[in-house]
Structure 1
Amino acid sequence: MTRQSDLMIVVPDSKLAAAATELIRDTESDLLFHHSTRVYFWGALIAARTMMRFDPELLYVAAMFHDIGLTARFRDSQLRFEVDGANAARDFLRSQGITEEDIETVWNAIALHTTPGVPEFMRPEIALVQAGAGMDVAGRGYDQFTDAEREAVVSAHPREADFQHRIIDAFYQGMKHRPDSTFGTFNDDILAYKDSHFHRTDLCSVILSSRWCSQPQT
């Protein structure tokens, strides 16, 4: 629980939120669980500061599921981890009887949370998940939060010692078996940092070596 002036921000008190919490708590490490919960709080605080209206349940579920694709459950997947997380959230929400419109919002929030320059122009829940994740991992917007806000969130959901390196390793463990899924995203930075043998796919090389280039020019 944390406070924005006279506004109290809490995890939604609902069966849906409780079920999401239980599932993620049982699936993710402490590192990812507390990170995901902090993403919700950062997003909700941003919304309070900017007077942005949002659905707390949808934001909470999206924040909780946004990194589940990094877990051992998806070690055989070749999809982007964000898509695995979005699909897992979709299945969970369908089991809870949530409307397809709301499911699409959560799916997009998770699938696009590592895609810069797009979510901020979409529905609030989508924008807030990316903003919250950016704050927690990279400190984007850090100074826009008060000391009291940061202290309250981290007190409730602590950042583990050496969080920066531990979250990079969590990303790496969740993506090292599917390096091709990082093409076109900044996720390839993780693989390049952790694995000296990782070879980035270069779009210019892809274009210049395509089948079009072997055809006679007119």
Structure 2
Amino acid sequence: MRLADIPAPDSVAARAALELATEYHTPALLNHVLRSWLWAEGFATVEGLHGIDRELLYVSAVLHDIGIVPAFDNHTLAYEDAGGHVAKALTAGAGWPAARRTRAHEVIVRHNWPEVDPAFDPEGHLLEIATGLDISGARPDALPLEFRREVVTAFPRLTLAAEFTACVTDQAERKPDTAAQRIVAGGVAGKLQRNPLESLG
């Protein structure tokens, strides 16, 4: 399993998602969403999941945290819900049919679920466990060490721990009925600091 074996989709939606994420994310958050996509692809391989919509997975991964940036922050919606709506708008512009646009929204929302059944939503499952690894350090040994090291070297963690903690804490304080509150109450700050990925790269 190598980075060279996981090319980004070459499509209008994929390129637009990356362009949007690059413009609005800090370097640390941009690296986080790109690592999350790569972890998701890695988990698809180790779990033997077939028939994955890889363009959908990429777009959803790259945009999954766009709802926490100031330009797209919604004063009432959970940040993952707001980000899902950004993905729906972007993919509409790329010509995706309504049902597939809805899938992008669903995958982004479900990345913050405690668990997603792969039989119910394989792309949502992959993004949920991928972000679980990158943020909380969940299942750190499920992917090969050399692959983890290669990804973290190519996309360093930088100040992710401090930035994400601040962002999700702000979301939890302003929107206490959303998943952000559960994430903060679950000790995300400590999990980020203790994440085994911090020692790679």
Structures share a fold, TM > 0.5?
yes
> What code does the residue aligned with 2:54 have?
P
Q: Which residue of structure 2 lines up, in the alignment, with residue 3 of structure 1?
A: 2
The aligned residue for residue 94 of structure 2 is 96
How far off is 1:144 after superposition? 1.1
Identity %, equivalent residues: 27
Partner residue of 2:133? 135
Distance 1:135 1:154 in 2: 12
2:31 is aligned to 34
User: Under a length normalisation based on structure 2, what TM-score does the superposition of the two structures give?
Assistant: 0.83
TM-score (norm 1): 0.77
Matches of 2:16 and 2:72, distance apart in 1: 20
Q: Which residue of 2 aligns with 1:44?
A: 41
User: Any gaps of 5 or more consecutive residues in structure 1?
Assistant: 194-218
Query: Residues 136, 192 of structure 1: CA spacing in aligned structure 2 closer, same or farther, 3 A cutoff?
Result: closer
Task: State the SS of the aligned residue for 2:28.
Answer: helix
The DSSP-based 3-state class of the residue aligned with 2:5 is strand
Q: Name the aligned partner's letter for residue 114 of structure 1.
A: N
Rounded Cα–Cα distance in structure 2 between residues aligned with 1:52 and 1:90: 25
Alpha-carbon distance in structure 2 between the residues aligned to 1:39 and 1:181: 21
What is aligned with 1:186? 182
**Partners of 2:179 and 2:158 in 1: CA distance:** 26
Q: Paired residue for 2:199?
A: none
The number of equivalent residue pairs is 188
Gaps of 5+ in 2: 190-201
1:38-117 map, 5 Å? 38-53=35-50, 54-117=52-115
Give the distance between the partners of 1:118 and 1:60, measured in 2 at CA: 17
CA contact (8 A) 1:61 1:89 kept: yes
CA change 1:131–1:44 in 2 (3 A) is same
